[in-house]
Amino acid sequence: MIRFLLLFTAFFAAQTAFASDNFLGVPRFKGVKPVFNSNYESSCGECHFAYFPGLLPGRSWKKLMDPKALEDHFGENAELEEPDRLEVLNFLVRNAADQSHYKRSVKIARSLRDGSTPLRITEVPYIKRKHSEIPAKMIKGNKKVRSLSNCLKCHTQAKEKGIFDEDTVSIPGYREWDD
């Protein structure tokens, strides 16, 4: 019994040493890479959370950041000056999910291996599946959340750290909910 306990302690200790690197060659950076770009923040963050580039693959960002597409950005005109657009696009593509070694980004990219190009993060299969068991009243019907696209309403450590883990989630009005 004691031998086993020792073995497991050693096992856990060893894991902590590798935790920030990788485990058996599998990328083990937690969450999504928390990258920031001042131009992206000012150009896009004015209207909505400047979603981390690692939440969509590069091909999605390219399609979204197309000059024509920006003229009708989910019903809004989001046109940018060409130098700004190029800088933001470059920043997004360089850090996109399919370029990332962060766990959530790797999974987002894996869930899009069929080659589809979602324009909404909420349409990424991995993200859809992870949220599929949350009752509608807690998101859509929740006045303090409204939509799955308002990540920061519930993901309390997303903005600064890019962490989306379940234990960091707090749904407004349903703080006690745990499933």
Partner 1 sequence: MAHPQVVWSLFVRIFHWSLVILFVLAYITSSSGDDDWHMILGYAVTVLLVARILYGLFSSGYGRFSRFIYSPKVIWSHAKGIVQGKPAHYEGHSPMGAAMVFALIGCLLTLVFAGLIYQSWGEYEGPLWWLGFMPADGFAHEMWDLHKWLPDILIGLIVLHVLGVLLACVQHRENLVRAMVTGKKCSGE
Residues 6+ positions from 130 with CB-CB distance below 8 Å: none
DSSP state of 21: S
Cβ atoms of 145 and 138 within 8 Å: the answer is yes
Residue 5 near partner 1 by CB under 8 A: yes
The partner residues of 22 in beta bridges, in order of sequence, read 27
Residue 166 near partner 1 by CB under 8 A: yes
Select 45 or 125, whichever has its Cβ closest to partner 1.
125
Select 49 or 126, whichever has its Cβ closest to partner 1.
126
**Degrees to nearest 5, angle at CA 179 with 125 and 51:** 40
x/- site string to partner 1, residues 21 to 50, per CB under 8 A? Answer: --x--x-x----------------------
Gap between the Cα atoms of 124 and 112, Å rounded: 7
Residue 129 near partner 1 by CB under 8 A: yes
Residue 18 near partner 1 by CB under 8 A: no
Please tell me whether residue 31 adopts helix, strand or coil conformation: coil
Residue 178 near partner 1 by CB under 8 A: yes
Residue 110 near partner 1 by CB under 8 A: yes
Applying CB under 8 A, the site for partner 1 has a residue count of 22
| The one among 33, 85, 107, 153 contacting partner 1 by CB under 8 A | 107
Select 31 or 53, whichever has its Cβ closest to partner 1.
31
| The one among 149, 150, 168, 170 contacting partner 1 by CB under 8 A | 168
DSSP for 44-106, please give it.
Answer: TTTTS----GGGS-HHHHHHHTSHHHHHTBTTB-----HHHHHHHHHHHHHT-GGG--BHHHH
Site residues (vs partner 1, CB under 8 A): 1, 4-5, 8, 15, 23, 26, 28, 107, 110-111, 126, 129-130, 132-133, 165-168, 178-179
